[in-house]
Amino acid sequence: MKLWPPMPHVVVELWPGKSEQQKTRLADKIAKDIMDVLNYGEESVSVGFEEISSKDWKDKVYKPDITEQALQEARLRDVNVNLNYAQRLMRCPPTEA
């Protein structure tokens, strides 16, 4: 089955300056690992590159993709921990004082 557009699509954000040969090598390795791990065919995987200048890195990548995503994931873990705790409490028989 051929998927179009290819899925999954991985975007590598990096500073400018890497050669096309380096980016091609990296794309090939990323695609190969995705195919191996997820059992997708070559036609289903694509890899792209977005060059971000060092002066824009903090605002365009670090804050939105790394810092805020990490905070969101931490909040989600906290919600799951609290939910699991509440579910365990609901299953426990009431204690006598």
Task: Tell me the pLDDT tens digit for each residue of 19-75.
Answer: 999 999 999 999 999 999 999 999 899 999 999 999 999 999 888 887 877 777 767
pLDDT, average across residues 6-14: 89
User: DSSP letter at 61?
Assistant: I
With cut-offs at 50, 70 and 90, classify the pLDDT of residue 92: low
Predicted confidence at residue 69, as pLDDT, reads 75
The CA distance from 49 to 27, in Å, is 9
- Amino acid letter, residue 76: L
Residue 12 tokens read as 């590598």
Burial 46-84 (b: 16+ CB within 10 A, else e): bbebeebeeeeeeeebeeeeeeeeeeeeeeeeeeeeeee
Amino acid (1-letter code) at residue 46: S
